[in-house]
Each structure stands twice: as structure tokens, then as C-alpha cells.
Structure 1
């Protein structure tokens, strides 16, 4: 089962505050554990939404919306793509993760569609 693990943005991440060296080291060790377990497929952090764009679709029309975007808690600050046995395994790994932000934070786990879902 493939899952996208989403690190939700915070006010600090949206300001562009970079993680401390201690947090970077802890996350590096966690990522090494994911690699050793054969779970990690991809991972990265995202720059603040102020540096992003959204493309709004309305039928054939397209319009570009410049960041920053509202509702910080709904934005994504980083992600992992994992291959796990099931959602329980993904939850267990997220519970082992260092807190990705200096204060309260959330991580969301979303399963990806597989070809079998469309049969």
C-alpha cells in the first residue's frame, strides 16, 4: 500500500523559518530508519506558500493565483511517499516521527489510488 504522509504547515513554516539543526538531525535519522526498513520512496520539504502559485480551473478558463494562501493549517509544508503493508503500519511509523515543527503540529496520512481501485 502506498501512502502520502503530509506534514501540515504552521505559522512558522509559512514564515519560512527553517528547522533547527537538532530537528534536521532527528529527521535525518528517522528518514534513515525508513530507508533501512524499505518504506521510503520520496521525501521533501516545501517552501512557504508565499513562493507558490495555484492554477484555478473553470471549464476551459485558467487563472493564476499568487501565494500566500489562507488557512495555514490546511497547507502542506512537507511530505513522504511510503510503501507500507497497511494503514496501521503507516500510523505506527508516524507515531515514531520526531515532531516536525517547533510547536504543535499535525501529520496526515492519505492512501494513494492503486490500479486495482479502478477495476
Structure 2
């Protein structure tokens, strides 16, 4: 999963330029053409979000916006590749150029939990 970190602009609801949208469309089409795109979405600003904190006794619900922009995400791609190196190669092609940051994380699969399965 490629997580796109939020920026002050994304948190302010600034819509990317038509040029940025076109570049992203080309990137997404390349992912689709390669057969590795599973899903992708952009997320609205945290001001439209809600956090729920579970402490074992109850649930605390807090409405956004949330203060730490660098800890938020504003979008993601879910891709299916054979290796970390292949994922990194695709990440290097993302058409960002204004200080955007991404985080690459591996998603668990059912087989990863087989060791804890009840016999």
C-alpha cells in the first residue's frame, strides 16, 4: 500500500491543478495497464473526519480537523506486486514534485496469520 501523506494544502482542501490531475491519471493508467492496481482513492481533509479511540472501557469520539498534518494521509494506492523493489520502482514514478511524501507498507495476507490459526 502506498500511503500519501497529507500536506497543509490537502488539509485546506486545495484541489490539485488540471496539469497535476492529468499527470496522476497517466500514472494510474500505467498501474492499470501493468495489471497491478487494486484500488486507489484520495481522502478529504481531516476536518471531515472522525477519530475513535478504544481504551478497553469505552470509546472516545473526536471530530477533525486533527493537528499533526505529517501524521495524516490524504490518499492511497493498493497495488499487487511481486517484491519491495518492484513497489519502489512504481513509487519512484509517482508524479509528485512539491515536497509530497509517501509511505510504502506491506499489507498482511491471510497466510501471514496461519501460524495463529486454531487447529
TM-score by length of structure 2 reads: 0.92
Secondary structure at 1:116's aligned position in 2? helix
- If each structure's strand is expressed as a fraction of its own residues, which one has the higher value? 1
Match of 1:107 among 96, 102, 114: 102
Q: How many residues are paired up?
A: 114
Are 2:4 and 1:7 equivalent residues in the alignment? yes
Rounded to whole Å, the distance in 2 between the matches of 1:71 and 1:81 is 24
> What is the root-mean-square deviation in Å for CA atoms of aligned residues?
1.0
TM-score by length of structure 1 reads: 0.92
Gaps of 5+ in 1: none
Rounded to whole Å, the distance in 2 between the matches of 1:97 and 1:103 is 12
Gaps of 5+ in 2: 115-119
Match of 1:117 among 87, 112, 116: 112
Runs of 4+ in 1 over 6 A off after TM superposition: none
